[in-house]
Chain A
C-alpha cells in the first residue's frame, strides 16, 4: 500500500483519545505485515516490534507517533434530544460552528452543530465566539430514539474526508498525529532495504492529547535505549512569526534543547547531511509539547530525539501536511536506525 493510501485510511478512521479502537485496529493490521510481532498494552498503545539482525544484546529504539485525535464527548441529552458536549483534548470552539459530526453511539449517528441564524443574533453578539457550552448537536431524531442510540460519555468526531490539495499537500482531520504514524510506516518500508542491528519498536501511542499518557506507560514497558517521538509542528503561514514555524515541503524539522539528547540530535543532523535529506532546525528550550516530554523521564531516563512534520491549521478539521515531508522523515529515521550500534548507545551516558 502507498503511504498516502494508508494515511487516508488512518485519518478517516475514528480514534478520539481514550477511544482509539478503530484506528488502532487498522494500524495493528498494517504493522503486522511489516513487524515480527504486534501487541497492545493496557492503555491501548499499538506496539510493533521489528527485530534487528545479529546475536547477543541489540540496541532498542522506540518510535512513537500518537494515533489519538482531539474530539468531543457527550455530557447530557436534553429533554428535546439535543446533545450537550465537552471537548477531549484542546478543541478551538470557533471551529465547531456549522460542522457535520458523527456521534459514535450504539451505532454511528450523523449530527449537526448548528447555530442561531444571523438575523436573530443581536448586533453586539456577532463579534463574539460562541462558547462551547452554548453549542449543541442536533441529531434530527425524537428524544426517545436519541436515548436508544446515544449515552453520556459517547465520543463525537467532525465528519471529514481526506482531500488532496495540488500535487503534494493533503488535508483532513487527525493529521495530528497520524502523519507521524505514516512516517513510521515509511520508515519500516525503508528498513526492508537496510541492514539494522537495533530492535525497532514502532509504537502508535494513545491519549497524547489529554496528557501524553500512552507514551508514559508504553515507554516504561519497552524501556528503550533511545526514544524518538514523531509529531507535527506549525507549518509556515501568514501572520505567524517565522521562528515559530517550519516551511512545508522542505523536510522534517529536527528539534534540539533540554528535551532532546544532544548526541542523538547530532547523529540525525549528520545523517541528514550525509544522505542529502533536507531538514530544518527547531531550537526548543524546554517542553516540546509532545510524547517526548513524557518519554524522557521514564524510569532512570531515556535518551531522546524529535522529528516533526510541518502542519498548517493544527487542531482544526482541515489540518494539512506535505507527503514529501513524510517521506523524507521516514527515510532519515531509517538511516538513523541503521546507524545505531551498542557503542553509540553506551556513549549516550557520557556527558
Chain B
C-alpha cells in the first residue's frame, strides 16, 4: 500500500513523530542519566533498584491490574447489554457524557460522597449499622478509578460487539451450542481486539495515576506517578524523575506487546 504513496507526502508525519515522540523519549533517557549538578551518572538507576522504588513499582502494577480487572468485569457485560437495547447509541452516549466532566471535579465529589458524614454513611446508618471509614481506603481508591475508566473500556468493546455478525451467533445456537459455549467460542474470541484496546487505555493510565492517590487514597497508595510528580515539582531532581519515567515507559511497552494485535491472526 505504501509504495503508492510518494515519499514526500510522508515527510510531515515522519517529522511529527520525530519531534513529538522520538525526541521527548530521547530527552527523558538523556535526563535520566544526569545528577543534580547535570553531570553524567548511572546512580539514578541504582537508586531505582532500592526496596522503596521496587515496592512502589509492584504496588503500582498490582493496583493497575485490579483497576483494569474490575473495569473489564463491569464494562464487558454492560457493552454486551447495550448492543441488545433498542436505542443503543443513545445509551452509549449517556454512559460517555460523564467522561466529559473534569476528572478532578468528579474526584472531589467523591470526597463528599464517601465522607464520614456523606450520603453513603447516612444510608448505612438508617440500617442501624455503625459508620464506616470509606474514604482513604483501598476500596474507595479502586472504586473511583474504576468509575473513571469504565467509559474508556466500554467504547472499544461496544464497537467490536456491534460489528459482530449476529448470524454467527444464530448459527452456533442452531448447531446446538449452549449460551455459555457460544460466548466462549464465538462472541468472546471475535471481540478480543476490543477487549485488548480497552485494557490498553485502562491499564497504562492506571499505572501512573497520581491525583486520585492523594485525594481519595490519602497517599496510602503510592504509584510511580506520585513519585514522578514529587521528583519534578518538589525535589527538582529531574534526573530521578526521568529515571522513573523510563521504567514506566518500559512497563507500558511490555503491556502493548502483550495486548497488541497480531498481524494475520486466525482466519
Chains A and B are bound partners: no
